[in-house]
Amino acid sequence: MKTKLTLLALIGLLLSSGATYAQWSANVGVTNNYLWRGLTQSINEPAVQGGIDYASDSGFYVGTWASNVSYDSDDAYSYEHDMYFGWGGESGGISYD
């Protein structure tokens, strides 16, 4: 986990150097039941979810997303945390990601 955060921080520093026009965005939501592939992740209870994303002009993006989860009353884990990155753009009318 520490290695992933360090890698994301280094990538962010590299992309922020020079004259770039980067964009930060954030999102938050509440759902009455967090479903994944048709299965409840919150025991049919509400879930609060949110994320933060960074996108650079080069097409590189990185983000994180989190949600509370509950699989049963004795579960030690109470949240899900996902991190992602990628590179996308468009060429000749065809978009890629």
3-state SS, residue 11: helix
Kindly report, residue by residue over 22-34, the tens digit of the pLDDT: 799 999 999 999 9
* pLDDT confidence of residue 74: 72
Q: How many domains does the chain have?
A: 1
**What is the domain range of residue 54?**
2-96
Q: How many CB atoms sit inside 10 A of residue 34's CB?
A: 21
Q: Enumerate residues 6+ apart whose C-beta is below 8 A from 89.
A: 59, 95, 96
Query: What value does the mean pLDDT take over residues 60-75?
Result: 88
Residues 80, 67 contacting (CB under 8 angstroms): yes
* pLDDT confidence of residue 47: 93
Report how far residue 60's alpha carbon sits from residue 87's, in angstroms, rounded to the nearest whole number: 4
Query: What value does the mean pLDDT take over residues 67-83?
Result: 84
Confidence of residue 64 (pLDDT cuts 50, 70, 90): very high
